[in-house]
Structure 1
Amino acid sequence: MSCLDDAYIDFDSRPDDKFLATLSSLSSLALYLKDEMVVGCSTIKFSRLMECIIYPEESDWIEPTLLLLGNSPKLKSLTIDYDCTPEPEDLPLSWNPPSSVPGCLSSELELFVWKFYGGREEEEQFLKYILANAKCLKTAVISLMRTTPDLEMMMEALKDIPRVSTESKLMFET
């Protein structure tokens, strides 16, 4: 499968390492991140990956996503999408800032999208980390959860998050 460019991955069990190794040639990846996939996909070197969509399902997705960023030096577009997550506010999350900044944040990432951002502390820390380190970021689009109590107040707070890329635009969808 050395010609594989795009993949949409949703497993109910952890795929074997041989299959996971074939994913290293992808340029586009849509990944339903379940507990079974966390370890496997965080160890793959995605040397060609330019676009990635993460659909968190049942796992603490932040750390594996940071590992994936570290293994994806050419990543230009990252989307976190809670649309298919039944209860995103119930996902276990933890925030441990990495000791080094992934290369794609320093030199490649241009688009960051978060669909149905909830505003939990760990989510906010992850968002701040992306905005503070994505030097080439052109656009960040944050779609807020419909259940957010005070959308206007949350948007104002998010606008105040420092961004390293002075050229970047922060846009909101509700």
Structure 2
Amino acid sequence: MPHLVDAYLDVNLTDLKSFIGSITSVKRLAICSETMLDEDYVFNQLKHLEVCICKDHFPSQLLRLLKASSNLQGLHIFYIEDDHDHIPDGMEDWNQPSTVPECMLSSLRSLSWSMYKGEPQEKDIAIYILEHALHLKTATIKSSSESDVPKLEMLKELALSSRASAKCKLMFK
């Protein structure tokens, strides 16, 4: 499918290899996958990525997608609130990568995070992006009503973190 522009994947397949290989030319990708992507895929044309946080392996999946998408401009992290089949038992720990994904150094301009709860793993990922995305212009964080962390505390933690981009505007909703 070399001319496919947009793809939305909400899959529970054990083998994604043949399918993912056919959509590596997309410009917009939304993914919510039970299966981890292999590390050998490259999304050279991907400009906008949406990744669901509702899977336990979200941090690893996000990192693989960032590494595979050197021209990424927009990142949206979301949670399917009304889909009770996708509620994770607990997100795996975020292991900060030893190298920063190319897109964060060259092209990532916007971050949007829906249903942000301010949990330690989420906070670590958000701060990592803020600290390493050199060209980030906007970071919009939409808090979850289900959060145990007070909104003001969430805002302070992110607002006080350092940012690689002096032009980055942090918006909290």
**TM-score (structure 2 length as normaliser):** 0.90
Query: What is the deviation of 1:120?
Result: 1.4
Q: How does 1:123-134 map to 2 (within 5 A)?
A: 123-134=122-133
Distance 1:43 1:65, change over 3 A: farther
Contact 2:139 2:170 in 1 (8 A): yes
Shift of 1:88: 5.6
Question: 1 CA distance for matches of 2:2 and 2:63?
Answer: 25
SS of residue in 2 equivalent to 1:7: strand
Percent of pairs with identical residues:
30
Gaps of 5+ in 1: none
* Higher helix residue share: 1
Any stretches of 5+ residues in structure 2 without a counterpart? none
- Match in the other structure for 1:27: 27
In the other structure, the counterpart of 1:39 is 37
Distance (whole Å) between structure 1 residues aligned to residue 91 and residue 109 of structure 2? 28
Q: Does 1:148 align with 2:147?
A: yes
Q: CA deviation at 1:147?
A: 2.4
- Measure the CA separation in 1 of the matches of 2:10 and 2:60: 19
**1:58-97 residue pairs with structure 2 within 5 A?**
58-84=55-81, 86=84, 90-97=89-96
What residue identity is the alignment partner of 2:167?
E
1:68–1:16 CA distance, 2 compared to 1 (3 A): closer
CA distance in 2, matches of 1:50, 1:76: 5
Residue type matched to 2:56 in 1? S
The 3 A distance-change label for structure 1 pair 12 and 83 is closer
CA offsets 1:82-133 (integer angstroms, 9 cap, x no match): 1346476733321111110011000100000110111111111111110000
Where 2:4 maps in the other structure, the secondary structure is coil
C-alpha displacement of 1:57: 2.8
Alignment of 1:7 onto 2:14: no
Q: Give the direction of change, closer, same or farther, for the CA distance of 1:115–1:88 in structure 2 (3 Å limit).
A: farther
